[in-house]
Amino acid sequence: MGMISWEEMQAVDANCQYFGLLPLQLMENAGAAIAREIVASSPGKRIAIVAGRGNNGGDAFAAARHLPGFIVTVYLLGRSRDISTEEAKRNWEILERLQWDLREVRDAQDLNLEEYDLIVDAIFGTGVKGRVAGLEAAAIDAINLSGKKVLSVDVPSGLGSNKVVRADCVVTFHRPKPDLGEKVIVADIGIPPEAELFVGPGDLQLVGKRSLDSHKGDSGRILVIGGGPYTGAPALTALAALRAGADIVTVAAPAGAAKTISSFSPNLIVRELSGEHLSLDDLPALQGLIASHDVVVMGMGLGRHPDTSRALARIIPQAEKAVIDADALLPGLPLKGILTPHAGEFQRISGLPLVDLDWRERMEPVKGFARERGVVVLLKGKIDLITDGEVLRANTTGNPGMTVGGTGDVLAGIAAAFYAGTTALRAASAAAFVNGRAGDLVYSEKGFGMLATDLIEKIPQAMMRL
């Protein structure tokens, strides 16, 4: 498998836990993998583990138990009572109960590394930002000055900071990561391919968080172009975008629909267009709105008037980021950004029949279409498929109650809100998960009596960390 970024790996870890593959299991597998490499490298019998108080250290604690016949000393930087995760603490306590040679280090001078054949560096994982100072910085210096062979766990400690361990070998887990050095062993720790196929709460981490010093508009300005024959659909999209974290949402709708939409909620900014359906006459007004918003989501409730299609053909190319849904998914119209079709709409724009195919059989046709057209497709179904033509993801949240009208409009709004701050693929993946999870929360309370407005109210809860 190809390289994975550190933030994507953290998302995979979070999704593993969501699907029931616990961090303690992965830590045990990581420890065994580290030990296998130590044995294979024949370093001599005396090993020093220099460990931090997080999961990187926990991986090394687990590795120690898989090294029978070696003389292992574990140096913990700091106090054992300050070990930061339950998994690392449990592995430390096992060693403690089994009377291993464990040393809590308060001063780097207590690291007597000259007597060892191999040093296992397990000080930091991937969470280091800024400067490394104090005990950890001194420990990195001591390792680098020791002249001993060094094996780093997952990443050379301090990578990207002012102090970095000079590792002879790095044992990293699951897939290669950037900037690890020349000798890297990629160890399988039992993460199955499905953990990267199916979306989960880890995908929400990739969407990003609102900064504490952010200002109005920093978290996204969304323009919804919809309405005409139907008024509820664009309102649902707009309200969903707000609940998903967008700062400002504007609805641009034909005159009659705009008056109705403005009455739905005081939270909506509504701009009235010229006639009773979207037309080329609306382009001058829309051009300024498109330029002042981060994402344009369009199609909900527009209807199929020929004037509307001609207007959409001019509007879609002007949007830097677009989410295209419903009545904007028509043959011959330009496509860009995120498309959110169901199987019937997908056939309409692609000519590819998917209705009678199961989700696995749909993968390659959808992936090929996305690659050919340069878009991200979020194909709605019992299991949603999300792809940019290269990466393919699937979403299992959701339930039969979500066949009620309007849930797709909610999904488009969530996707637009997320797209304001991240890539199209990440936004669509996280949106599918959140929309389905909101539906599951409603279904547990109301069953088949759910309404699309119920989903909107559950979006914040669906976005909470599990």
Token pair for 329? 């998914």
Quote the mean pLDDT of the chain.
95
SS3 30: helix
pLDDT bucket at 213, cuts 50 / 70 / 90: low
The string of pLDDT tens digits covering residues 336-369 is 999 999 999 999 999 999 999 999 999 999 999 9
Share of the chain above pLDDT 90, in %: 91
Q: Please state the length of the chain.
A: 466
Report the alpha-carbon distance of residue 413 to residue 306 in Å, rounded.
Answer: 25
Q: Provide the pLDDT for residue 42.
A: 80
Residue 456 has what pLDDT?
98
How do residues 165-205 score in pLDDT, each as one tens digit?
999 999 999 999 998 988 999 999 999 999 999 999 999 99
For residue 464, give the 3-state DSSP assignment: coil
Which residue's structure tokens are 């991240």? 422
Radius of gyration of the chain (CA): 27
- Bridge partners of residue 72, in order along the sequence: 47
Residue 32: is its pLDDT beyond 70? yes
pLDDT band at 43 (very low <50, low <70, confident <90, very high): confident
Rounded CA gap, 223 and 249, in Å?
6
Each residue's pLDDT tens digit, 70-79: 999 999 999 9
pLDDT in the model for residue 214: 56
- DSSP characters for 155-206? S-TTTTSS-----SEEEEESS--TT--S-EEEE--S--THHHHB--HHHHHH
pLDDT value at residue 210: 62
Q: Is the dihedral of CA 50, 52, 53, 56 positive or negative?
A: negative
Residue 116: the pLDDT is 96
Statement: residue 216 has pLDDT above 70: no
pLDDT in tens, 406-431: 999 999 999 999 999 999 999 999 99
Whether 107 shows a pLDDT value over 60: the answer reads yes
Q: Over the stretch 362-392, which tens digit does the pLDDT of each residue have? A: 999 999 999 999 999 999 999 999 999 999 9
**Which of 98-102, 130-134, 163-167, 234-238 is predicted least confidently?**
130-134
Strand pairing of 376-379 and 338-339? Answer: parallel
Residue-level pLDDT at 212: 53
What is the spatial distance between Cα 23 and Cα 174, in angstroms, rounded to a whole number?
A: 14
Q: DSSP 3-state assignment of 230?
A: coil
Amino acid found at 103: R
What is the set of domains in the chain, with CATH numbers? 6-195 (3.40.50.10260), 201-462 (3.40.1190.20)
Q: What residue type is assigned to position 209 of the chain?
A: K
Residue 459 has pLDDT above 60, yes or no: yes
Q: How far is CA 312 from CA 187, 225, 273, in A?
A: 50, 10, 14
| Highest-pLDDT range among 22-31, 213-222, 260-269 | 22-31
pLDDT category at 160 given cuts 50, 70, 90 is: confident
Those residues whose C-beta lies under 8 Å from the C-beta of residue 112, and which sit 6 or more positions away, are none
- pLDDT mean over 264-284: 94
46, containing H or E segment? strand 46-51
